[in-house]
């Protein structure tokens, strides 16, 4: 999975597989400060773009890693190790921005969340405690035994949940 391969995909296909266009993945790999030769504990080596693309593909599918191993010609052990270690690296590298208890006030600090909610409310939102929006991806769930009609998505013909906003 190289930059050239990503750039050879149509924009639609790239967004379908990774939720980002190829130029954005390349830009994001640099912005996230992922080392260009990302080496795992067992010495599997990935380029920064390849590592990020595989992580995004895993987040996109949300399923087991079999599909990724067959689609991107990687062993399950290398893929599993990469996904775990890259996730850990990103959490450690950018923890100062995500720390809720930080005195500096990371992006998820309660005071910041209140200011986000105030800004969204000032823009005309009907909720006063909404601080973020999700991409509205439909998440399939098992067939519920109670209140089936509430979870049934007639458009997709499945039982699913669809989260759209985060509130305080």
Are residues 8 and 76 both part of a single domain? Answer: yes
69 versus 108: the higher-pLDDT residue is 69
CB atoms within 10 A of CB 99: 15
How far apart, in Å, are the Cα atoms of 22 and each of 14, 15, 47, 53, 166? 6, 8, 15, 9, 28
Are residues 83 and 145 both part of a single domain? Answer: no
pLDDT of residue 104: 62
Are residues 10 and 62 both part of a single domain? Answer: yes
Q: Does 119 fall in a domain?
A: yes
When pLDDT is averaged across residues 64-91 and rounded to a whole number, the result is 89
Q: Does 64 fall in a domain?
A: yes
Q: What pTM value is reported for the model?
A: 0.64
Residue 64 sits at the vertex; the CA angle it makes with 58 and 69, to the nearest 5 degrees, is: 70
Q: Which domain holds residue 7?
A: 3-93
pLDDT, tens digit (0-9, with 9 covering 90-100), for 104-132: 666 777 888 888 889 988 988 888 888 88
Q: Does 102 fall in a domain?
A: no
134 versus 157: the higher-pLDDT residue is 157
Are residues 76 and 146 both part of a single domain? Answer: no
Q: Does 17 fall in a domain?
A: yes
Among 7-21, 37-51, 64-78, 80-94, whose mean pLDDT is lowest?
A: 64-78
Among 37-41, 132-136, 148-152, whose mean pLDDT is lowest?
A: 132-136
Are residues 88 and 21 both part of a single domain? Answer: yes
Q: Which of 136, 153, 135 is nearest to 144 (CA)?
A: 153
| Mean pLDDT taken over the chain | 85
Which of the listed residues 65, 93, 121 is the one where a domain comes to its end? 93
Q: Does 42 fall in a domain?
A: yes
Q: Does 103 fall in a domain?
A: no
| For residue 101, pLDDT beyond 90 | no
């Amino acid at each position: 999975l190289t930059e050239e391969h990503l750039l050879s995909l149509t924009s639609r296909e790239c967004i379908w597989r990774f939720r980002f266009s190829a130029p954005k993945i390349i830009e994001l790999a640099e912005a996230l400060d992922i080392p260009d030769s990302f080496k795992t504990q067992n010495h599997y080596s990935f380029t920064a773009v390849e590592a990020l693309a595989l992580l995004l593909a895993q987040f996109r599918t949300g399923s087991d890693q079999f599909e990724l191993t067959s689609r991107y010609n990687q062993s399950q052990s290398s893929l599993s190790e990469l996904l775990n270690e890259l996730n850990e690296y990103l959490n450690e590298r950018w923890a100062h921005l995500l720390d809720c208890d930080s005195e500096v006030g990371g992006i998820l600090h309660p005071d910041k969340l209140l200011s986000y909610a105030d800004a969204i409310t000032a823009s005309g939102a009907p909720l006063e405690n909404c601080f973020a929006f999700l991409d509205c991806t439909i998440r399939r769930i098992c067939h519920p035994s109670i209140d089936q009609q509430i979870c049934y998505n007639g458009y997709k013909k499945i039982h699913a949940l669809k989260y759209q906003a985060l509130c305080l």
